[in-house]
């Protein structure tokens, strides 16, 4: 059957004139008449089905697609189209060489003048790729819609084009409220402008921005989100949209903040603790550079212990927390405050431009040391303060803290100045101390220590009644070094334990040697540092030393300086009581210089009180010293303890002491501390002291 009707012919001729319009595209296109015969087909159509335009009028659709497919799929639709109803449908077709393709087929009825529905135009579009992409997109859309993570898409100006349900849920805004607005509507207002600037710079440059932002819900509450914002590009690489994928990290942030508080904050004052302070200060320096004019100040509240003792620990805590408040409320220049020890605080300060640091410190001390009002009592406080300037030399925060703490400890020793600044000189001395500490270790191993003995004498008769063992360091290059120089260093460097043990054993050894030599020894007093007590096992160490040397406890005396009470504790009291029960003689050294309360004196089991040499030296010319000496003698009587004066340098002082009722003493007037051999000779001779003619006797 051919379709050589006039109409088809006319139509074919028109199409051939314009065939270039229809041959250009990828779509297949053909015209069919009511007998299912081809009238015309474009190049793409002919190629796909292997047809020639010249022979096309000879062919029917059924020839080309096969009887089965024609009858089932095509014919019913063609018929409906000829009935005037355009057809759209999708089908699949297996092309030789191309495989199975998805096709969108459309039939349009073509009306010729005065002849409706004589022809039919078919357009066949290969939609295989489009449908595959659609499928992908549908999957993706499903994922974003279901995702628990908020997702938003904005246009280039940041106006929201899409949000998923999670976004609505977390922000509290509905999709309608958000679309067309910028994310500024959910900003917390706490994020610095620079953060947003950085964000925009990154994404407009086509890069992905990741970060954390704090946002605000519709109900006003704040929440944290971790965000990945990436630019969406079209095929030509042009940015068309921005996509933000977020995650609610509020709980994580809160946990992190709580942990930070524990790790970096002092719970009592809310100030940074040591670790927090160093971190924060490092961060500040990383951000703003090394502040040449800055200073690190360390200070403490003097005698906080007194306050604790007088008003109770709650009062002490209250005072510390109020003090912390003062630091937080410091105006202006102050940058960082921390509590880095029990009563120790630190400030990193940057005085206002041009202001002298000293003036600033003056104001600081003045405002910080105002008295505190606790109920009806006025609590006065005194500050000790040391500082170090940052200057040009960059160094770790730990070094700065060490420097200002060193200055602080020097201020504790000399409070006649308002504060101490760390200096080159202090630095040199510190280095010397470090060097000494190192050498101390060696000294013990190489047996560089020795004990000297100073007689304790009955003032009235000059009889030797006891002695004090005093340590000397026989330094290989520097000669004899006095304990005043190295004991404090040993106390700070953990060396005091081993050195103290050495003294104890050596003193006991001497005692035993003297006895074995048939001499009648006197009690030997050994000086003990508070640090030796703090280990908690001091009494048992003494016991072992005595046992091993076969020395009776009564032959040994222990001298502790009055300053032990600055660190009075249950451990100390307990150890002392054990020693006293053992029968060891206990002596309170340097009495009158340090920290004592009648309470301690009464509670602690001292056999003897030693009047500090400072008062003894000035006994004759200084009425105050005389009063103190008198008072100590009375006090000792009341406590049922012996009293002994140290530092007697003249017969006049000795006489005055006797007159005041003091019965024993020691000092250069009687004898210098003697080498062991010389002291042994004294024991042998049992001569009265002093050895030179004494006009007083
Ligand atoms: P201290 O226990 O008060 O010892 C008395 C100090 O005064 C001794 O100084 C002694 O030589 C000195 N001295 C004695 N009589 C006079 C005098 O008439 N005039 C003057 N100007 N000074 C006199 P030294 O030996 O330099 O000891 C100083 C301090 O070092 C001792 O003071 C004691 O606290 C400590 N020390 C000495 N040996 C030891 C020790 O083995 N262990 C401990 N932990 N500390 C010790
Ligand atoms: Mg002593
Ligand atoms: Mg003394």
**What digits encode the pLDDT tens for the residues 561-571?**
988 887 778 88
How much is the average pLDDT of 585-609?
Answer: 87
Residue 40, strand partner residues? 31
Look up residue 25 and give its DSSP letter.
S
Residue 694 has pLDDT above 60, yes or no: no
- Find all residues with CB under 8 Å of 664, minimum gap 6, and list them: 456, 457, 458, 459, 465, 642, 643, 644, 645
What does the pLDDT read at residue 647? 97
Residue nearest to atom 35 of ligand 1 (CA): 483
Helix (H) or strand (E) run with residue 400 in it: helix 397-413
Q: How far is the CA of 469 from the centre of ligand 2 (A)?
A: 8
Task: Domains for the chain: give ranges and CATH numbers.
Answer: 3-126 (3.30.450.20), 130-255 (3.30.450.20), 265-422 (3.30.70.270), 433-684 (3.20.20.450)
Residue nearest to atom 45 of ligand 1 (CA): 527
How much is the average pLDDT of 195-200?
Answer: 91
Question: pLDDT tens for residues 123-145?
Answer: 999 999 999 998 988 998 899 89
Report percent pLDDT > 90 for the chain.
69
Give the long-range contacts of residues 72-75, CB within 8 A, separation 24 or more: 75/36
CA distance 450 to 452: 7
- Find all residues with CB under 8 Å of 335, minimum gap 6, and list them: 284, 294, 347, 348, 349, 350
Look up residue 639 and give its DSSP letter.
T
Of 331, 426, 335, 342, which is closest to residue 388 (Cα–Cα)? 426
Q: How far is the CA of 638 from the centre of ligand 1 (A)?
A: 27
Classify strands 523-528 and 556-561 as parallel, antiparallel or unpaired. Answer: parallel
Bond from prior residue into 690 cis (ω within 30 degrees of 0): yes
Q: How far is the CA of 548 from the centre of ligand 3 (A)?
A: 28
What lines the ligand 1 site, CB under 6 Å?
454, 470-471, 482-484, 487, 500, 503, 527-529, 559, 561, 589-590, 613, 646-649, 666-668, 673
Residue 413 has pLDDT above 70, yes or no: yes
Residue nearest to atom 20 of ligand 1 (CA): 647
How much is the average pLDDT of 413-421?
Answer: 92
Question: pLDDT tens for residues 59-118?
Answer: 999 998 899 999 999 999 999 999 989 999 999 998 877 889 999 999 999 877 777 668
Residue with tokens 């960059």: 394
Residue nearest to atom 22 of ligand 1 (CA): 647
SS3 category, 353: coil
DSSP codes joined into one string, 591-636: ETSS---HHHHHHS--SEEEEPHHHHHTTTT-HHHHHHHHHHHHHH
- Choose the residue to mutate in 497, 527, 561 for probing ligand 1, maximizing ligand atoms within 8 Å of C-beta: 527
Distances (CA, A) of 203 to 182, 195, 199, 240: 15, 13, 6, 12
What does the pLDDT read at residue 1? 44
- Choose the residue to mutate in 453, 454, 470, 563 for probing ligand 1, maximizing ligand atoms within 8 Å of C-beta: 470
Of 220, 200, 219, which is closest to residue 209 (Cα–Cα)? 200
How far does CA 358 lie from the centroid of its chain?
30
Query: At residue 169, what are phi and psi to the nearest 5 degrees?
Result: -65, -45
What does the pLDDT read at residue 333? 55
Ligand found nearest the CA of 526: 1
Q: Is the dihedral of CA 616, 618, 624, 626 positive or negative?
A: positive
CA distance 226 to 221: 17
Encoding tokens for residue 385? Answer: 């303060």
Question: pLDDT tens for residues 423-443?
Answer: 999 999 989 888 999 999 999
Residue 481 has pLDDT above 60, yes or no: yes
Q: How far is the CA of 645 from the centre of ligand 3 (A)?
A: 9
Please answer whether residues 429 and 638 qualify as being in contact, where contact means their C-beta atoms are separated by less than 8 angstroms.
Answer: no
- Find all residues with CB under 8 Å of 131, minimum gap 6, and list them: 102
Q: How far is the CA of 624 from the centre of ligand 3 (A)?
A: 19
Q: How far is the CA of 502 from the centre of ligand 2 (A)?
A: 16
Q: How far is the CA of 591 from the centre of ligand 3 (A)?
A: 8
CA distance 195 to 15: 64
Q: How far is the CA of 589 from the centre of ligand 3 (A)?
A: 5
Between 26 and 498, whose confidence is greater?
A: 498
CA distance 490 to 497: 8
Q: Please, which residues have CB less than 5 A from ligand 3, an ion?
A: 589-590, 646
What does the pLDDT read at residue 575? 94
Q: How far is the CA of 456 from the centre of ligand 2 (A)?
A: 11
DSSP codes joined into one string, 143-193: HHHH-SS-EEEE-TT--EEEE-HHHHHHH---HHHHTTS-GGGGB-S-S-H
Residue 161 has pLDDT above 80, yes or no: yes
First to last CA, the chain: 163
CA distance 340 to 520: 54
Question: pLDDT tens for residues 231-280?
Answer: 999 889 999 999 999 999 999 988 888 888 888 999 999 999 999 999 99
What does the pLDDT read at residue 596? 72
Residue 604 has pLDDT above 50, yes or no: yes
Confidence band for 344, pLDDT divided at 50, 70 and 90? very high
Residue nearest to atom 5 of ligand 1 (CA): 646
Question: pLDDT tens for residues 357-373?
Answer: 899 899 999 999 999 99
Residue 2 has pLDDT above 50, yes or no: no
Residue 696 has pLDDT above 90, yes or no: no
Ligand found nearest the CA of 647: 1
CB atoms within 10 A of CB 572: 20
Q: How far is the CA of 480 from the centre of ligand 3 (A)?
A: 20
Q: Please, which residues have CB less than 5 A from ligand 2, an ion?
A: 527, 559, 589
Residue 688 has pLDDT above 90, yes or no: yes
Residue with tokens 């004066």: 645
How much is the average pLDDT of 335-359?
Answer: 89
Residue 512 has pLDDT above 90, yes or no: yes
pTM comes to 0.58
Residue 3 has pLDDT above 70, yes or no: no
How much is the average pLDDT of 150-160?
Answer: 93
**Which atom of ligand 1 lies closest to the CA of 483?**
30
> What is the number of helices (H) and of strands (E) in the chain?
27, 27
**Which atom of ligand 1 lies closest to the CA of 669?**
18
């Amino acid at each position: 059957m051919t379709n050589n009707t006039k109409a088809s012919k006319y139509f074919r001729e028109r199409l051939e004139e314009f065939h270039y319009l229809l041959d250009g595209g990828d779509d297949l296109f053909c015209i069919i008449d009511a007998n299912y015969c081809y009238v015309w087909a474009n190049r793409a159509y002919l190629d796909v089905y292997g047809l020639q335009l010249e022979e096309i009028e000879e062919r029917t659709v059924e020839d080309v697609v096969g009887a089965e497919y024609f009858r089932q799929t095509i014919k019913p639709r063609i018929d409906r189209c000829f009935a005037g109803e355009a057809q759209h449908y999708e089908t699949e077709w297996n092309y030789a060489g191309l495989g199975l393709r998805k096709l969108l087929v459309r039939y349009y009825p073509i009306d010729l003048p005065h002849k409706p529905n004589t022809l039919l135009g078919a357009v066949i579009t290969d939609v295989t790729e489009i449908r595959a992409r659609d499928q992908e997109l549908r999957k993706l859309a499903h994922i974003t819609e279901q995702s628990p993570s908020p997702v938003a898409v904005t246009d280039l100006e940041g106006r929201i084009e899409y949000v998923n349900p999670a976004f609505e849920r977390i922000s509290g805004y509905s999709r309608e409220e958000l679309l067309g607005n910028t994310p500024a509507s959910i900003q917390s207002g706490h994020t610095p402008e620079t953060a947003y600037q950085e964000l925009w710079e990154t994404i407009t440059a086509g890069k992905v921005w990741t970060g954390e932002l704090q946002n605000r819900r519709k109900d006003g509450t704040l929440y944290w989100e971790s965000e990945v914002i990436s630019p969406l590009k079209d095929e030509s690489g042009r940015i068309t949209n921005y996509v933000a994928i977020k995650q609610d990290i509020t709980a994580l942030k809160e946990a992190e903040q709580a942990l930070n508080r524990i790790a970096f904050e002092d719970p009592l004052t809310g100030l940074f603790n040591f670790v927090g302070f160093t971190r924060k200060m490092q961060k500040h320096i990383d951000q703003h550079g090394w502040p040449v004019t800055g200073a690190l100040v360390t200070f403490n509240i003097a005698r906080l212990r007194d306050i604790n003792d007088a008003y109770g620990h709650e009062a002490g805590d209250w005072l510390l927390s109020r003090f912390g408040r003062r630091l937080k409320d410091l105006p202006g220049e102050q940058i960082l405050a921390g509590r880095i020890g029990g009563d120790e605080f630190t400030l990193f300060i940057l005085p206002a431009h041009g202001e002298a640091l000293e003036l600033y410190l003056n104001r600081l001390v003045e405002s910080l040391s105002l008295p505190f009002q606790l109920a009806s009592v006025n609590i006065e406080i005194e500050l000790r303060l040391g500082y170090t300037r940052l200057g040009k030399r960059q160094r770790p925060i730990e070094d700065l803290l060490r420097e200002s703490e060193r200055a602080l400890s020097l201020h504790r020793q000399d409070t006649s100045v308002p504060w101490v600044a760390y200096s080159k000189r202090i630095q040199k001395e510190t280095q010397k101390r470090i060097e000494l500490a190192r050498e101390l270790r060696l000294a013990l191993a190489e047996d560089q220590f020795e004990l000297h003995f100073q007689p304790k004498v009955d003032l009235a008769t000059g009889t030797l009644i006891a002695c004090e063992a005093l340590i000397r360091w026989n330094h290989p290059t520097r000669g004899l070094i006095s304990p005043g120089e190295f004991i404090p260093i040993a106390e700070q460097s953990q060396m005091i334990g081993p050195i103290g043990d050495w003294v104890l054993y050596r003193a006991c050894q001497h005692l035993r040697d003297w006895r074995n030599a048939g001499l009648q020894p006197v009690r030997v007093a050994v000086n003990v540092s508070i640090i030796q007590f703090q280990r908690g096992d001091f009494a048992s160490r003494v016991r072992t030393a005595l046992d091993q040397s076969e020395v009776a406890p009564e032959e040994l005396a222990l001298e502790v300086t009055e300053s032990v009470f600055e660190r009075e504790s249950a451990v100390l009291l307990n150890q002392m009581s054990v020693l006293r029960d053992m029968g060891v003689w206990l002596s309170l050294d340097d009495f009158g210089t340090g920290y004592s309360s009648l309470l301690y004196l009464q509670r602690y089991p001292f056999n003897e009180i030693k009047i500090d040499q400072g008062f003894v030296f000035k006994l004759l010319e200084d009425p105050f010293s005389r009063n103190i000496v008198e008072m100590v003698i009375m006090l000792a009587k009341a406590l049922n303890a012996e009293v002994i004066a140290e530092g007697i340098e003249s017969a006049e002082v000795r006489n005055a002491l006797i007159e005041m009722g003091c019965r024993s003493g020691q000092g250069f007037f009687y004898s210098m501390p003697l080498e062991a051999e010389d002291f042994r000779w004294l024991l042998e001779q049992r001569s009265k002291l002093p050895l030179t003619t004494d006009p007083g006797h």
